[in-house]
Structure 1
Amino acid sequence: MAPTCATHVFKLIVSFMALSSFSHAYDHDPLQDFCVAVPDASAAVFVNGKICKSPKLVTPDDFHATGLNVPSNTNNSLGVGLNVVSVNRVPGLNTLGLTVVRVDFAPNGVVPPHVHPRATEVLVVLEGTLYVGFVTSNPSDGTKNRLFSKTLNAGDVYAFPPGLVHFQRNVGNTTALGIVSFNSQNPGIATSANSIFGSDPPISSEVLTKSFQLDKKTVDYLQSRHWI
């Protein structure tokens, strides 16, 4: 039976809705050349971003930052240091949908499994050797979550889809360096271990023992740890 006009209209509406949903998954496109953020933490008006400075008052310094050439401190339990360039350092990034991070790794340093709910991440390795990967969301066909992983060297690039658990680890004998870009001015981050075992107030031990098939003693120990 040939498709009816109503069928074509229905498919068109569904396609339009799907495209509309995708377009709202990331930061909105700006409606002006720029919207330099006003450093006013007490502003009474809430916007999805920061309040814009008058274009007449904008200067070149609003689009500039220094210090990304300086190594970050990796003297911590993870052996990783972050140098974040966001709208908080470059006000001109407001509404442009971009954050850049310098990531320094000590030998065996690791960025633990985590997610960015609002952004795709792209990693460029400048120095060293990193083992990286991400895990797919729950498959609908009953198979296991799939791990996509790769060992990267200087000059390599790897992309991490938004909202998926991912990680990076320095597997070389020397320090490593990467530059990360996000297509959001506020990508958000939720570290898996910290979110589950380090929340405030803590998640009920009954929920965690059942969810992870652990005994309460183990759950209590994990919740007592300091998670990053």
Structure 2
Amino acid sequence: MSVSAGARILVVEDEPVINQAVTDRLRGQGYEVVQAWDGPGAVSQFTETAPDLVLLDVMLPGFDGHEVCRRIQAARPVPVLMLTARDDEADILVGLGVGADDYLTKPFRMRELVARVGALLRRVDRAAELANRPTTTDLGDLRVDAAARRVWVAETEVHLTPTEFDLLLCLAASPGVVLTRENLYAEVWGWPGASGTRTVDSHVKALRSKIGADRVRTVHGVGYALEPGA
């Protein structure tokens, strides 16, 4: 059975009207939803209910969404969609750095939120399928083990978030080939036809910080390519 069907989602939002509106919409889509309104409550609910995905507001009482994300990802990796009132790149990179997979800027449309949730859950299903097809890719001193979801650079293992790993895996499948931002967004985030260029750019920047800036080549106005012999 796929994770997407009847998935449990934890909604963390301190504004009651937004929290309830999101909860009602997701329940209407067939998801099981649990709610939290502050940082400590979010971590507690995560431990008690073991959600398949977390919708996480950045600004929360107690401690903020970034700290919540750090704590829950340390306990058990799970897809996290951040909700933020700011779209500053530095803020976005902080969220990605603590393990968020994607973000939505407030105010957002419920239709878009539901689409992002569905795409993230489908990625979980695809990752489970991939685990049954062991493949290891060596590109210079970069090694990517798709089944184990592990990466090494010059014999040193590098920790990547789930989204960073999926992005690297997508680039490594066609080394040297330039992939457009739109193609990467459709393949990695599972949402074709959507504009997610800033999301892709932010994740590429985070990925470069971990595997080396020279390994991912930018083709301005087009997209990115993984250098096969970097």
Tell me the TM-score range normalised by the shorter chain: under 0.3
Higher relative contact order (CA 8 A, sep 6+): 1
Say which structure is richer in helix: 2
Larger Rg: 1
TM-score, normalized by length of structure 2?
0.24
